[in-house]
Amino acid sequence: MTLSIRLDQQTQEALRQHLEQSGVTQSTFVREAIREKLARYAPEASTPYQLGEPLFGRYASGETNRSQQRKALIRERLDAKHRR
Protein backbone atom coordinates (compact mmCIF):
# COMPACT_ATOMS: atom_id res chain seq x y z
CA MET A 1 0.00 0.00 0.00
CA THR A 2 1.25 3.46 -0.84
CA LEU A 3 0.67 6.19 1.71
CA SER A 4 1.12 9.94 1.36
CA ILE A 5 1.04 12.31 4.31
CA ARG A 6 1.59 16.03 4.74
CA LEU A 7 3.81 17.19 7.59
CA ASP A 8 4.26 20.66 8.96
CA GLN A 9 7.75 22.12 8.57
CA GLN A 10 8.75 21.55 12.20
CA THR A 11 7.72 17.88 12.20
CA GLN A 12 9.35 17.31 8.83
CA GLU A 13 12.66 18.76 10.03
CA ALA A 14 12.58 16.77 13.29
CA LEU A 15 11.89 13.58 11.33
CA ARG A 16 14.68 14.30 8.86
CA GLN A 17 17.19 14.87 11.67
CA HIS A 18 16.13 11.71 13.47
CA LEU A 19 16.42 9.62 10.31
CA GLU A 20 19.90 10.98 9.61
CA GLN A 21 21.08 10.25 13.15
CA SER A 22 19.57 6.79 13.38
CA GLY A 23 20.34 5.66 9.85
CA VAL A 24 16.84 4.28 9.40
CA THR A 25 14.95 4.78 6.17
CA GLN A 26 11.79 6.82 6.17
CA SER A 27 9.70 3.82 5.09
CA THR A 28 11.08 1.62 7.86
CA PHE A 29 10.49 4.33 10.45
CA VAL A 30 6.88 4.85 9.36
CA ARG A 31 6.18 1.08 9.26
CA GLU A 32 7.54 0.62 12.79
CA ALA A 33 5.60 3.63 14.07
CA ILE A 34 2.35 2.28 12.63
CA ARG A 35 3.00 -1.20 14.09
CA GLU A 36 3.70 0.28 17.54
CA LYS A 37 0.56 2.39 17.43
CA LEU A 38 -1.59 -0.56 16.32
CA ALA A 39 -0.10 -2.78 19.03
CA ARG A 40 -1.21 -0.29 21.69
CA TYR A 41 -4.82 -0.52 20.60
CA ALA A 42 -5.04 -4.21 19.71
CA PRO A 43 -7.76 -5.76 21.90
CA GLU A 44 -6.06 -9.17 21.93
CA ALA A 45 -2.92 -7.58 23.36
CA SER A 46 -4.77 -6.38 26.47
CA THR A 47 -4.71 -8.72 29.43
CA PRO A 48 -7.19 -8.39 32.28
CA TYR A 49 -4.38 -6.94 34.39
CA GLN A 50 -3.56 -4.30 31.77
CA LEU A 51 -7.23 -3.30 31.55
CA GLY A 52 -7.57 -2.89 35.32
CA GLU A 53 -4.12 -1.49 36.05
CA PRO A 54 -5.24 2.18 36.29
CA LEU A 55 -7.67 1.18 39.05
CA PHE A 56 -5.33 -0.93 41.18
CA GLY A 57 -4.38 0.88 44.35
CA ARG A 58 -6.49 3.87 43.43
CA TYR A 59 -8.53 3.69 46.61
CA ALA A 60 -5.78 2.29 48.82
CA SER A 61 -5.82 3.08 52.50
CA GLY A 62 -2.06 3.34 52.73
CA GLU A 63 -1.96 0.59 55.35
CA THR A 64 0.18 -2.27 54.10
CA ASN A 65 -1.03 -4.81 56.69
CA ARG A 66 -4.76 -4.03 56.52
CA SER A 67 -5.74 -7.52 55.30
CA GLN A 68 -3.83 -9.13 58.18
CA GLN A 69 -5.66 -6.97 60.72
CA ARG A 70 -9.10 -7.29 59.16
CA LYS A 71 -10.62 -9.19 62.09
CA ALA A 72 -9.45 -6.61 64.62
CA LEU A 73 -10.74 -3.77 62.44
CA ILE A 74 -14.16 -5.40 62.10
CA ARG A 75 -14.28 -6.07 65.84
CA GLU A 76 -13.50 -2.39 66.56
CA ARG A 77 -16.26 -1.21 64.26
CA LEU A 78 -18.81 -3.61 65.76
CA ASP A 79 -17.87 -2.63 69.30
CA ALA A 80 -18.21 1.07 68.39
CA LYS A 81 -21.60 0.43 66.82
CA HIS A 82 -22.96 -1.45 69.84
CA ARG A 83 -21.72 1.17 72.32
CA ARG A 84 -24.20 3.73 70.94
Q: Is the pLDDT of residue 44 over 80?
A: no
- Closest among 53, 52, 73, 75 to 63, alpha carbons compared: 73
Residue with the bigger pLDDT between 83 and 24: it is 24
The lowest-confidence range among 9-13, 22-26, 65-69 is 65-69
The span from the CA of 18 to the CA of 28, in Å, is 13
State the pTM of this model: 0.48
Residue with the bigger pLDDT between 30 and 48: it is 30
